[in-house]
Amino acid sequence: MQSVKPYAFCTTTTTHLSERNLVMSIRNQMVLLLPCLLFGLLGVSDGYIYVPSSFTNGTFVFSLVDNNGERTYNGSGILLARDYSADGAGKRGAVCDTENRFTDEAAAVICMEMGYTCAENWSLGPADNEALIDNVECENSSLAFRNCRYDRTQGCNRKISLTCDWRCQYEFSLVDSEGRHSKSNSGLLVATKVGTKLKGTVCDDRFDDVAALTICREMGHDCLASWSTMNTWKLQEKRNMRILLDDVSCSERGVLDGFTEGCFWKTQNDCDHSEDVYLSCDCMLDEFKFSIVDSNGKEAENGRGLLIVEKKSGSGNTDKLGTVCDDLFDETSADVICKSMGFACSKSFESAGDKRTTSWSNAQKVVLSEVVCQVGDEGRCTYSTEPYCDHSEDVLIECGSAVQCQELPTAETGKPTGQPTAGTGQTTGQTTGQPTEHF
């Protein structure tokens, strides 16, 4: 294999004169392109603009052709390279991958060399064209082809077909079993290609926690709770939904910079809907801060009063002050929230009813509803940020200290948790959060 090393000044920068997108990889190469133009090193041949490369052992101009060898302009076709080096004399041939070295990174680099924004698909097929280069390896998709390694060849057994595009942005949403926008932060993952009517599910091939976290953040959540596949819903077949994305993989860059910049994917797939991704971004305690205020609107030092929630912003500050609706609220949710505020358990909770006071008027918005937390997995809670509640349904809560919580009776024994359980001589060490008194 040849290691590509720099030996002159100009870089490879190519595009076809008739294409509407004359990007010419300028965003990566502008600084080096201008001196080449000034020194008269620009060459023009058969409709292409190219600059002799200083960083490869040959200047390659890439193009896409159909099965008849005719150039395509829809961003899809068999990948060819033309060699404009001193010894290449414009020779053209297929780009091959004999040793399985071609990757998503290489596909992205070559698409950008041709003036596109991203690679959407690539595949291998029988090689019936004269070959030129083989076993392309690119370690970083944000760099130019001069940074890649390859072998020169005259023949190979597998050629590369490539699909590139200018429109590479996707929006994501979660839907429920009826296909409606999920009011909670869990559901079937649906992708929509921006600027088109293309919409569909995401297959789980190559999908992992990094991809899930990247997509959760694309939807405005700060964290990932879980993801899985689930084929119990009939929604996909009923609505004849397409599978839009496959082989989604993201780097840590995706978590920071977003899906388009840090992820790879394919729009061709070999999946069925049993492989669709179901995603939960239900990390409530990472996204919201809870507090309790008393009847005077002051912080309740005794842990008893109106439950207040604030949405955390990325800077660590909080905003969107409001209340929590009692829809689906239960003992487990109350316990999780009390513990997040430093208490040992929830002693009781109830709906506000007509108990609201004028001093609570600052908290006019109901922020959360349908809070459901999992037993034994504190902090993993589903919730809705689209409540259909009024303030009579606000949660009033009382949280207790460790001593107070040990005095609460359990549902199984009817005795405080600090007392021995009959027949065992041991304490249960559990709390139920069952309401013991009213506000």
Give the tens place of pLDDT for each residue, 93-120.
Answer: 899 999 999 999 999 999 989 988 889 9
Residue 24's pLDDT band (boundaries 50, 70, 90)?
A: very low
Do the Cβ atoms of 350 and 439 come closer than 8 Å? yes
Pairing assessment for the beta strands 199-202 and 242-250 based on DSSP bridges: parallel
pLDDT the model gives residue 170: 93
How many angstroms separate the Cα of 55 from the Cα of each of 7, 116, 224, 334?
6, 21, 42, 63
Q: What distance in Å separates the CA atoms of residue 382 and residue 209, rounded to the nearest whole number? A: 18
Mean pLDDT for the stretch of residues 391-418: 75
| Amino acid present at 381 | C
pLDDT-derived band at 10 (thresholds 50, 70, 90) equals very low
**CA 336 to chain CA mean position, Å:** 27
For residue 336, pLDDT over 80 is answered with yes
Cβ atoms of residues 228 and 206 within 8 Å: no
Task: Give pLDDT, residue 38.
Answer: 41
Say what the pLDDT of residue 88 is: 63
At residue 32 the predicted structure's pLDDT band, cuts being 50, 70 and 90, is very low
Q: What is the mean pLDDT of residues 159-170?
A: 91
d(C-alpha 360, C-alpha 367), whole Å: 15
Averaged pLDDT score across all residues of the chain:
76
Predicted local confidence at residue 435, as pLDDT: 39
Q: Is pLDDT larger for residue 61 or for residue 38?
A: 61
* Assigned token pair, 406: 């040990």
**Tokens read off for 29:** 């190469």
Residue 257 to residues 129, 213, 215, 261, 408, Cα–Cα distance (Å): 39, 12, 11, 6, 49
Instruction: Kindly tell me if the per-residue pLDDT of 163 is higher than 50.
Output: yes
314 phi/psi in degrees, rounded to 5: -65, -25
Q: How confident is the model at residue 31, as a pLDDT?
A: 40
Per-residue pLDDT at 9: 32
CA distance 378 to 261: 33
Task: Provide, rounded to the nearest whole percent, the portion of the chain with pLDDT above 70.
Answer: 74
Lowest mean pLDDT among 246-250, 287-291, 361-365, 398-402: 361-365
Radius of gyration of the CA atoms of the chain, in A: 30
Q: How confident is the model at residue 330 (pLDDT cuts 50, 70, 90)?
A: very high
Q: Which of the pair, 270 or 127, is modelled with greater confidence? A: 270
Neighbours of 289 (CB within 10 A): 15
Closest CA to 95 of 56, 131, 120, 122: 131
| pLDDT higher than threshold 70 for residue 29 | no
Residue that the structure tokens 């996204």 belong to: 287
Calpha distance 272→90 (Å, rounded): 44
Report the pLDDT value the prediction gives residue 372, as an integer from 0 to 100: 87
Distance of CA 41 to the CA centre of its chain: 43
What's the predicted TM-score (pTM) here? 0.59
**pLDDT value at residue 299:** 87
Q: What pLDDT is stored for residue 8 in this prediction?
A: 30
- Write down all domains in the chain, each with its CATH number in brackets: 15-165 (3.10.250.10), 170-280 (3.10.250.10), 284-406 (3.10.250.10)
Q: Which is more confident, 72 or 234?
A: 72
Rounded to an integer, the average pLDDT of 272-301 is: 87
Instruction: Look at residue 136 in the predicted model and tell me its pLDDT.
Output: 93
- pLDDT level of residue 319 (50, 70, 90 thresholds): low
pLDDT computed for residue 153 by the predictor? 83
**Local confidence band at 320 (pLDDT 50, 70, 90 cut-offs):** low
Q: What is the pLDDT of residue 254?
A: 64
The pLDDT of residue 370 is above 70: yes
Classify burial at 310, counting beta carbons within 10 Å of its beta carbon; exposed 0-12, middle 13-18, buried 19 or more: middle
Over the stretch 239-278, which tens digit does the pLDDT of each residue have? 888 999 999 999 887 677 788 888 899 988 889 999 999 9
Nearest C-alpha neighbor of 122 from the set 137, 110, 135, 140: 110
Does 312 have pLDDT greater than 90? no
Does 6 score more than 80 pLDDT? no
pLDDT at 129: 64
Average pLDDT of the residues in 134-151? 87
pLDDT of 377 = 59
The 3-state secondary structure of the chain, one letter per residue? CECCCCCCCCCCCCEECCCCCCCCCHHHHHHHHHHHHHCCCCEEECCEEECCCCCCCCCEEEEEECCCCCECCCCEEEEEEEECCCCCCCEEEEEECCCCCCCHHHHHHHHHHCCCCEEEEEEEEECCCCEEEEEEECCCCCCCHHHCEEEECCCCCEEEEEEEECCCCEEEEEECCCCCECCCCEEEEEEEECCCCCEEEEECCCCCHHHHHHHHHHCCCCCCCEEEECCCCCHHHHCCCEEEEEEEEECHHHHHHCHHHHEEEECCCCCCHHHEEEEECCEHHHHEEEEEECCCCCECCCCEEEEEEEEECCCCCEEEEEEEECCCCCHHHHHHHHHHCCCCEEEEEEECCCCCCHHHCCCCCEEEEEEEECCCCCCEEEEECCCCCCHHHEEEEEEECHHHHHCCECCCCCCECCCCCCCCCCCCCCCCCCCCCCC
Question: Is 46's pLDDT higher than 50?
Answer: no
